[in-house]
């Protein structure tokens, strides 16, 4: 068993608010690890501490053995830790294909050398990969459309494709089905299951318990900035502390 991400003793305060207290978490290679917990529990804060958008007050975040604390978000992204969602950052006036080519080229070139518009026409291999991923996401027929003209569910799948073209070593999903109708949620679950079959390591933050129990190998429950339980889906389902804090039992 190999650990891709190791979070150790992470604390984060905002003024007087203790948003995260002594978080310890290991993410195993190839697994889907769900983080659940009520609103305001600290889930997004924890993710932001991992990807360099926030700096913890204490503790370390090791990705593939290397401490990421102090690194810039784009450097962490380039190292292979890719976050999608809760930041709907598509380019509505560009085509769907151009939208996925931008992160694909940024990944290849590094953010500083990157000139998306100059390179767009010449990158056949990357383009073939991008088209393949879009087809896989069920967006094959939309490739030449303006991204902004697509349905909400398709836009969110585009965001997922923009993450996948970077071939992340660790994919972090912040509420991938938030705001989706049941039909779109089920489609997204199927897509994420397929990604999982290919062995990609994932952290998924999710409110929808149907999504969590469909996808997770392990679940950690966050409440008031602390991990109150970690285990397999069956262990979490049966845990009375979790029922009390979250599942409303
Ligand atoms: P979750 O994602 O689990 O809903 P968050 O991580 O967004 O929770 O927030 C955890 C707590 O930290 C909340 O009480 C929230 O109001 C607070 N918080 C989050 N970000 C900030 C910030 N930038 N400044 C001040 N307080 C924040
Ligand atoms: Mg959140």
| % of the chain at pLDDT higher than 70 | 92
**Per-residue pLDDT at 120 exceeds 60:** no
- How much is the pLDDT for 122? 57
- Residue 182 CB-density burial (10 A; 0-12 exposed, 13-18 middle, 19+ buried): exposed
Q: Which atom of ligand 1 is nearest to the CA of 225?
A: 10
CA of 86 to the centre of ligand 2 (A): 8
| Non-local CB neighbours of 133 within 8 Å, separated by 6+ positions | 100, 161, 164, 165
Q: Give alpha helix (H) positions in 51-151.
A: 73-79, 96-109, 116-119, 124-136
pLDDT in tens, 76-103: 999 999 998 765 689 999 999 999 998 8
Q: Whose CA is nearest to atom 14 of ligand 1?
A: 40
Residues near ligand 2 ion, CB 5 Å cutoff: 43-44
CA of 183 to the centre of ligand 2 (A): 23
pLDDT in tens, 47-82: 999 999 999 999 999 999 999 999 999 899 999 999
Cα–Cα dist 91/177, whole Å? 20
CA of 144 to the centre of ligand 2 (A): 33
Q: Whose CA is nearest to atom 12 of ligand 1?
A: 19
Question: What domains can you pick out in the chain, each with its CATH number?
Answer: 1-80+168-249 (3.40.50.300), 89-167 (no CATH)
pLDDT range class, residue 249, cuts 50, 70, 90: very low
DSSP string covering 184-224, please?
HHHHHHHHHHHHHHTT-EEEEE-S-HHHHHHH-SEEEEEET
Find the mean pLDDT for residues 130-150: 94
**Per-residue pLDDT at 118 exceeds 70:** no
Cα–Cα dist 76/82, whole Å? 8
pLDDT range class, residue 123, cuts 50, 70, 90: confident
């Amino acid at each position: 068993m190999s650990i891709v991400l190791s979070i150790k003793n992470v604390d984060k305060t905002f003024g007087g608010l203790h948003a995260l207290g002594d978080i310890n978490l290991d993410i195993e290679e190839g697994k889907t690890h769900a983080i659940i917990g009520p609103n305001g529990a600290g889930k997004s804060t924890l993710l932001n501490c991992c990807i360099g958008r926030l700096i913890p007050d204490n503790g370390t975040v090791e990705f593939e053995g290397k401490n990421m604390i102090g690194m810039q978000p784009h450097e962490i992204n380039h190292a292979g830790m890719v976050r999608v969602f809760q930041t709907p950052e598509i380019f509505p006036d560009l085509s769907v294909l151009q939208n996925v080519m931008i992160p694909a080229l940024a990944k290849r070139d590094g953010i500083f050398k990157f000139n998306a518009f100059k390179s767009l026409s010449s990158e056949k291999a990357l383009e073939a990969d991008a088209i393949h991923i879009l087809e896989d996401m069920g967006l094959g027929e939309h490739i030449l459309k303006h991204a902004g003209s697509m349905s909400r569910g398709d836009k969110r799948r585009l965001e997922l494709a923009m993450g996948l073209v970077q071939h992340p070593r660790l994919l972090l999903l912040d509420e991938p089905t938030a705001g989706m109708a049941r039909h779109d949620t089920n489609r997204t679950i199927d897509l994420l299951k397929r990604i999982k079959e290919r062995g990609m390591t994932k952290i998924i933050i999710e409110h929808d318990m149907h999504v969590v129990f469909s996808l997770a190998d392990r679940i950690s429950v966050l409440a008031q900035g602390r991990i109150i339980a970690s285990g397999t889906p069956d262990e979490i389902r049966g845990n009375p502390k979790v029922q009390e804090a979250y599942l409303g039992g």
